[in-house]
Structure 1
Amino acid sequence: MSSPVKVYVYDLSKGLAGQVSLQLTGKQIDGVWHTSVVAFGKEIFYGPGICETEPGRSHHGSPLRIVDMGETHMDEQTFVEYLSQIKEHYTADKYHLLDFNCNSFTNDCLGFLTGGSLPPYIKDLPSDFLSTPFGAALRPTIDAMFRGRASTGVLTPPPDISATADSSNPASASSLLQAVAAGATSNNSEMPSSSRNYLPTPAPTSPPTPVQSNSLTTPVHIATNPSSFHNVLHTHRAVVAFFTSATCGPCRMIEPVFEDLAKSKSRANDVAFVKIDLGVGMSNAVGGEYGVRVTPTFILFLDGNKTHEMKGINAPELRTQVDLLLYQAFPPHRHTTLSLPAIEAIPLNAILSSQVPNLDIVLAKVTGFIDAAPSWSGSTTKEATKQILAKNIIPYLKARGSSSPPNTSFEPWKDATISLVTNLSAGELFPVADMWRVALLEPAVCSWSATKFGPGSPILVLLSKAEGAPRNYSLTFLRMISNAFANKIVARELLLSSRSSITALMVAALFHDDATVRLAAANLAFNMTMHLQRLRVEKVRGNVEGDDVGENEEWDIEMTSALLEVIEREKANEEIVHRLTASLALSIRLSPSIEQLASLLEVLQAQKILKDKLERGGCGDTGVVKKEARKLIEEVAEKLCS
């Protein structure tokens, strides 16, 4: 007889992670997830050992969401026996915030009961967090907390975040950690009477800390049954399996090498490092399936197929075989083998529009437009809008670069911008865009802006007025949005939310009659492709930060086509040709859509278009003159477009 299996999901931060994670880490993390498995009328989770309670009656309260995982055909007694077998594996002293926690346990149970696994938004969060500067800086402190617990049974208290990580908002960071600490418990005495240790283990005596239930699972997967291991094989391209046992001395010697490889080589969902203790649960069945008779044994898999097996503690050989597996699974981009000195010399720094106008004149223009508006609607009145401009925005911009910039809240900036965009025409909004152009040179403004994407975001509100706008607004907005792309967090949000509209605006501007507008659009094209190139370089190097590229094959094709068409049409301005060629090079070089782009480049005769720029009449009377530009054009034509 079958029985339903569900996963209960809790957010220990009570919504705080969703509010502050973007400004702390540069990534949107919607919750600090704790999970438990519900089967046979019981909710079972891992914290101070394996614990059982009535569904929804644990110290975590009501679940934020319930995920239906299907049904199990196991009987309850078989599941109880399985939990008894793994009880020594899931003890309080082995708990680690990053490497072995409630989600590890839930995932293992799901593999046993249904052959399934936790949803990706829970499983993938560790690499997202650890890939950020904040996460990387916090990792050593978290490790120290749990090293102390393993030896003493008492967890080191939560750290002072301001002293641990380079956070632009240590107060928010501390609040988040305290919220997690308040939502977790490490003591049975803090649980309701309906909750108990399913298989009792000594309970620690430390005060509540973010121990049991953080969202961050581990780069090392744990498998205690065949279903759990097969699930890992099916969901990862490359798998490194470490067969070990508690009584194996050599295993303890090689284990740090395996864990170091897991931390340094894991790439989001593509690679899994799995530890299988043959003395735990049904792990011996996994070992029997692959003929493992001694420990340590390492077996490497590619696309679910065994590719290599090694026994013993040869650390150099293990590293070599892992590198070979990853090379086979993720061969380097074909352009990485080319010698591209001119392209590699392109500075991956944004082109900024940093000139500061006379801010008093800017303020007078905006004020005049406000006063002349025949009517005014919205939550901010004319007078309130003028006060925000005169008393908040302009003083902040005037103090740029000073040792003591004025303390200010950016929220009124948003309100004023929405009112101005609502009540003024695009032709009257260019000084507003110019203020934001200068403001986006400031890291503090960018950090705040990154948290405001969505309805009401000042950048997106101004973008809504850009299509078909007069020259003065188009030019100023292009320069403003180019400055926004200098900040990687804002650039990421723009590409996720508004890539198509920004690209359409840029392409239209590249065909403008005014060379100044075309140059501003060329700068924006460069900044967009530069941001993607940085991430692609990180991806090629195997760094998880590069997994945040947000690749889009259709956009690659659209961008390449537009750049080539504009380069062919540009006959007058050598600087525009140079910047567009650099943009084309960055767009093509490490694109994952290279096969499709190669065909497109041939059809569009890209090589001829570029080489024509070097000939008489191709750009000016004599063709491109600047030596640096000529070298770049020749290299892109000969090596990327051939």
Structure 2
Amino acid sequence: MSTTVKLYVYDLSKGMARQLSRQLTGRQIDGIWHTSVVIFGKEIFYGQGINTTSPGRSHHGAPTQVLDMGETSIDEETFTEYLEEMRSHYTADKYHLLEFNCNSFTNDCIGFLTGGSIPSYISDLPTDFLSTPFGQSLRPTIDSMYRRPSPGVAAAPANAPPNPELATSILQSVAAQAQSNGGPSYQNRPPPLPATQSLTSPIHAITNPPAFSAFLKSHRAAVAFFTSQTCPPCRMIEPVFERLSEEKGLQEGRNGAGFAKVDIDVGMGRNLAAEYSVRATPTFMFFLDGKKIEEIRGADANELRAQVDLLLFQAFPPHPHTKLSLPAIQALELKPILFSQIPPIDTVISKLNASIDASTWPASATQSQAQAQVKQTLATTVTPYLKARFAVPPNAPKASARPPPSATPTILTPWAQATASLATALSIETLFPLVDTWRLALLDPAVGVWIAATPSSSDPISLLLPQANSALQTPSKSSRNYVLTFLRLLCNATSSVPLAQKLLQSSMRQDVTAVLVPSLLHEDVQVRTAAASLAFNVAAVLQKPRVEAVRTGRRLDEPDDVGDWEMEMVSAVVEALDREKDNEEVVHRLTACLAFLLRLSPFHESHQDLLEALQARDKLKGKLVKGEHWNGEGGVGKKEVRKLIDEVAGRLCP
């Protein structure tokens, strides 16, 4: 006698996924699906363990869909025994919204009853979700709901979701409904005992073929451990496998492998084992881009470690430049070049006030008040801060016991407002003293943090950028002063990590580059020196996370437009090097900049053709001898500069 098997499907988002998914993820997701198996007059589902209720009477209410999954010849007693066996596997503490959930359970049940599986649009939903930037950004948050973070590993996402409040609200709602059995939600249940923390390590518990297929799709490198409850060698090798999953798994953005454990005695484990011709346990299989590339049978810990390392090497090959000996480049400091000269502050402010008085401001009462307000801000806010922070009294001890005061928004906000007024009222010839005050202020870390958090429409750097472009287009002695001071300001700005990141974001990076590139070719040597310093600082900002990524093995994702910009910078630096025939300091900074742009760049293959077309190798080598590329006798004189040039030309340029 056969019995009909039904699948009840619920949308845990209550329609929010259909309405908001395209806005949040860029693709249409019609629901966040929860499923139950209905058979023998009962509805069975997994949340707080395995739960049973009358059909349609669970806390989820009426199902969104009822799907006919066919018929089964298995009797109720046999199915009840199967469920009792599964209770030790589908426990409350193992639940995970993405990896081991209600759909994993129903897939096992459907497979046991009918030999089939739940629809792919349900089983593939986690993979589809995680393939979106929104899903990737929320993965650590979801993991933190179900797993204790590993020691020293932050659970916060590297990139915040586009609408964190809405995302958190949806997640909490979905997670509470998904794991609830009609009683207290997962947030209120007592924590599981340490002995049941079976998912604290990054191991996926796989119980059926569809779940394994989804696992392979979501991991470029994957390791599967086929085990059995009655296998002593499996218990011996399992701690090694768990340690490898922690050391080599995907954690906090690190390049790593996915680790899966398939118990062939649980769920549809034997079906999966048969699909991959597993005849003995333990068996380890290694997958690259979904294809099996290696297999180990037996509990050989050394071979297991070796194959995991080989898999990761194939999936994430190290940067080719890591194999090169580059002592001169590695000796370069990543600290920014700063311009810390302290001008006579009273003199600077007096020049500004004289320029304000001499400028032609509109005659309206409002503008007159604005002019007076600007002068008051300079006198009562800017000057006292600059003197307190930077002016050194005569005969003052070198080391002061009291740290200098940092700027606050109370100081910086009116200062920026005054800058906005002066940027439109004063000519370039008279505006550069104002730029110099900001150049000095950016030596204060608090100023960089504040500007980074200020909208680009009102931060002082953005307000002063257009004048720098204008000054470059109309070269003169006075415009040269503005460009020089502004370049030095930008150099100091790169000392602030958040502000440096802001400067290198797409929109602002374009404006900064428009000032930097022509300045590298400026006729004035001081301008070229400041521009070369800024080019070095910007390249160092790029280099720092790349060096750290190589050191830690973590993944570093860079937007494609960074590659285009980097090629523009390489071209500009090589041209500037070619034209620089006298000043060793400029050559030194430009060569160091080029070294940082090329070494460890993810776009290095694209750079090779460009460098060859630019004849970069010959132009650099030409600096080592007198001739077409260098005017001085015997080439560049400083030993460390010669070593750096030789290394960049010989090792990084084709």
So what's the TM-score if we normalise by structure 1? 0.70
| Secondary structure class of the residue paired with 1:339 | coil
The match for 2:533 among 507, 520, 523 is: 523
Deviation at residue 429 of structure 1 after TM alignment: 3.4
Counterpart position of 2:639: 627
The match for 1:587 among 566, 572, 597 is: 597
What do the CA deviations read for 1:552-591 (whole angstroms, capped 9, x no partner)? 3322322222111111111221111111111112212222
Counterpart position of 1:237: 220
Question: Compared with structure 1, are the counterparts of its residues 306 and 545 closer, same or farther at alpha carbon in structure 2 (3 Å cutoff)?
Answer: closer
> Is the CA contact (8 Å cut-off) linking 2:255 and 2:554 kept in structure 1?
no
Name the CA distance, whole Å, in 2 between partners of 1:483 and 1:561. 24
Question: Compared with structure 1, are the counterparts of its residues 477 and 40 closer, same or farther at alpha carbon in structure 2 (3 Å cutoff)?
Answer: same
Could you tell me which amino acid in structure 1 is paired with residue 619 of structure 2? Answer: I
Deviation at residue 88 of structure 1 after TM alignment: 6.2
Counterpart position of 2:397: none
| Secondary structure class of the residue paired with 1:241 | strand
Counterpart position of 1:489: 498
Counterpart position of 2:403: 403
What do the CA deviations read for 1:30-66 (whole angstroms, capped 9, x no partner)? 9xxxx98246899x999866999xxxxx99xxxxxxx
Could you tell me which amino acid in structure 2 is paired with residue 197 of structure 1? Answer: S
Name the CA distance, whole Å, in 2 between partners of 1:425 and 1:295. 80
Deviation at residue 87 of structure 1 after TM alignment: 7.4
Could you tell me which amino acid in structure 1 is paired with residue 329 of structure 2? Answer: I
1:350-429 to 2 correspondences below 5 Å: 350-371=336-357, 372-375=359-362, 381-400=370-389, 402-403=402-403, 405=405, 408-409=408-409, 410-429=412-431
Structure 1 residue 93 corresponds to structure 2 residue 98: no
Name the CA distance, whole Å, in 1 between partners of 2:50 and 2:501. 40
What do the CA deviations read for 1:99-135 (whole angstroms, capped 9, x no partner)? x5568749969967152421433442378899xxxxx
1:478-627 to 2 correspondences below 5 Å: 478-497=487-506, 498-544=508-554, 546-547=556-557, 552-617=562-627, 618-622=629-633, 623-627=635-639
Counterpart position of 1:165: none
How many residues matched?
551
Deviation at residue 233 of structure 1 after TM alignment: 2.6
Question: Compared with structure 1, are the counterparts of its residues 466 and 235 closer, same or farther at alpha carbon in structure 2 (3 Å cutoff)?
Answer: farther
Name the CA distance, whole Å, in 1 between partners of 2:184 and 2:375. 65
Name the CA distance, whole Å, in 2 between partners of 1:37 and 1:199. 18
> Is the CA contact (8 Å cut-off) linking 1:392 and 1:408 kept in structure 2?
no
> Is the CA contact (8 Å cut-off) linking 1:396 and 1:408 kept in structure 2?
no
Deviation at residue 440 of structure 1 after TM alignment: 2.4
| Secondary structure class of the residue paired with 2:287 | strand
> Is the CA contact (8 Å cut-off) linking 1:538 and 1:546 kept in structure 2?
no
| Secondary structure class of the residue paired with 2:470 | coil
Question: Compared with structure 1, are the counterparts of its residues 421 and 129 closer, same or farther at alpha carbon in structure 2 (3 Å cutoff)?
Answer: farther
> Is the CA contact (8 Å cut-off) linking 2:13 and 2:170 kept in structure 1?
no
Could you tell me which amino acid in structure 1 is paired with residue 509 of structure 2? Answer: R
What do the CA deviations read for 1:193-224 (whole angstroms, capped 9, x no partner)? xx99348799775799xxxxxxxx99555555
Higher Rg of the two aligned structures: 2
1:98-497 to 2 correspondences below 5 Å: 100=96, 105=101, 113-116=122-125, 117=127, 118-119=129-130, 120-125=132-137, 140=151, 197-198=180-181, 220-221=203-204, 223-244=206-227, 249-250=235-236, 253-263=239-249, 267=253, 271-278=257-264, 282=268, 284-292=270-278, 296-311=282-297, 313-371=299-357, 372-375=359-362, 381-400=370-389, 402-403=402-403, 405=405, 408-409=408-409, 410-452=412-454, 454-469=456-471, 470-497=479-506
Name the CA distance, whole Å, in 1 between partners of 2:415 and 2:331. 39
Deviation at residue 633 of structure 1 after TM alignment: 1.3
> Is the CA contact (8 Å cut-off) linking 2:8 and 2:36 kept in structure 1?
no
Q: Which moved more, 1:470-479 or 1:363-372?
A: 363-372
Question: Compared with structure 1, are the counterparts of its residues 38 and 351 closer, same or farther at alpha carbon in structure 2 (3 Å cutoff)?
Answer: same
Name the CA distance, whole Å, in 2 between partners of 1:309 and 1:464. 62
The match for 2:32 among 2, 23, 37 is: 37
Deviation at residue 305 of structure 1 after TM alignment: 1.3
Counterpart position of 1:172: none
Name the CA distance, whole Å, in 2 between partners of 1:341 and 1:640. 13
Q: Which moved more, 1:113-122 or 1:320-329?
A: 113-122
Unaligned runs of 5+ in 2: 1-5, 17-23, 38-43, 53-58, 72-78, 108-118, 143-147, 157-163, 192-199, 391-401, 472-478
Unaligned runs of 5+ in 1: 12-28, 53-57, 60-70, 131-136, 146-160, 162-175, 209-216
| Secondary structure class of the residue paired with 1:309 | strand
What do the CA deviations read for 1:217-252 (whole angstroms, capped 9, x no partner)? 995555554334333433433222344567764465
Q: Which moved more, 1:321-330 or 1:519-528?
A: 321-330
> Is the CA contact (8 Å cut-off) linking 1:47 and 1:101 kept in structure 2?
no
Name the CA distance, whole Å, in 1 between partners of 2:141 and 2:350. 45
Could you tell me which amino acid in structure 2 is paired with residue 303 of structure 1? Answer: D
- Percent identity of paired positions between Structure 1 and Structure 2: 41
> Is the CA contact (8 Å cut-off) linking 2:203 and 2:258 kept in structure 1?
yes
> Is the CA contact (8 Å cut-off) linking 1:225 and 1:283 kept in structure 2?
yes
Question: Compared with structure 1, are the counterparts of its residues 403 and 631 closer, same or farther at alpha carbon in structure 2 (3 Å cutoff)?
Answer: same
Deviation at residue 328 of structure 1 after TM alignment: 1.4
Question: Compared with structure 1, are the counterparts of its residues 184 and 606 closer, same or farther at alpha carbon in structure 2 (3 Å cutoff)?
Answer: closer
Name the CA distance, whole Å, in 2 between partners of 1:361 and 1:230. 72
| Secondary structure class of the residue paired with 1:298 | strand
Name the CA distance, whole Å, in 2 between partners of 1:89 and 1:483. 58
> Is the CA contact (8 Å cut-off) linking 2:36 and 2:45 kept in structure 1?
no
Counterpart position of 2:41: none
What do the CA deviations read for 1:423-449 (whole angstroms, capped 9, x no partner)? 444444323332322232233232333
Deviation at residue 282 of structure 1 after TM alignment: 4.7
> Is the CA contact (8 Å cut-off) linking 1:74 and 1:113 kept in structure 2?
no
Counterpart position of 1:22: none
Deviation at residue 540 of structure 1 after TM alignment: 3.0
Q: CA RMSD for the aligned pairs?
A: 5.1
Name the CA distance, whole Å, in 1 between partners of 2:201 and 2:376. 51
Could you tell me which amino acid in structure 1 is paired with residue 482 of structure 2? Answer: Y
Deviation at residue 182 of structure 1 after TM alignment: 13
Could you tell me which amino acid in structure 2 is paired with residue 408 of structure 1? Answer: T
Question: Compared with structure 1, are the counterparts of its residues 204 and 447 closer, same or farther at alpha carbon in structure 2 (3 Å cutoff)?
Answer: closer
> Is the CA contact (8 Å cut-off) linking 1:92 and 1:202 kept in structure 2?
no
Name the CA distance, whole Å, in 2 between partners of 1:579 and 1:429. 28
What do the CA deviations read for 1:592-612 (whole angstroms, capped 9, x no partner)? 333332222222222221122
Name the CA distance, whole Å, in 1 between partners of 2:415 and 2:123. 52
> Is the CA contact (8 Å cut-off) linking 1:36 and 1:103 kept in structure 2?
no
Question: Compared with structure 1, are the counterparts of its residues 237 and 540 closer, same or farther at alpha carbon in structure 2 (3 Å cutoff)?
Answer: same
Deviation at residue 306 of structure 1 after TM alignment: 0.9
- More relative contact order in 1 or in 2 (CA 8 Å, sep 6+)? 1
| Secondary structure class of the residue paired with 2:296 | strand
> Is the CA contact (8 Å cut-off) linking 2:420 and 2:458 kept in structure 1?
yes
Question: Compared with structure 1, are the counterparts of its residues 4 and 325 closer, same or farther at alpha carbon in structure 2 (3 Å cutoff)?
Answer: same
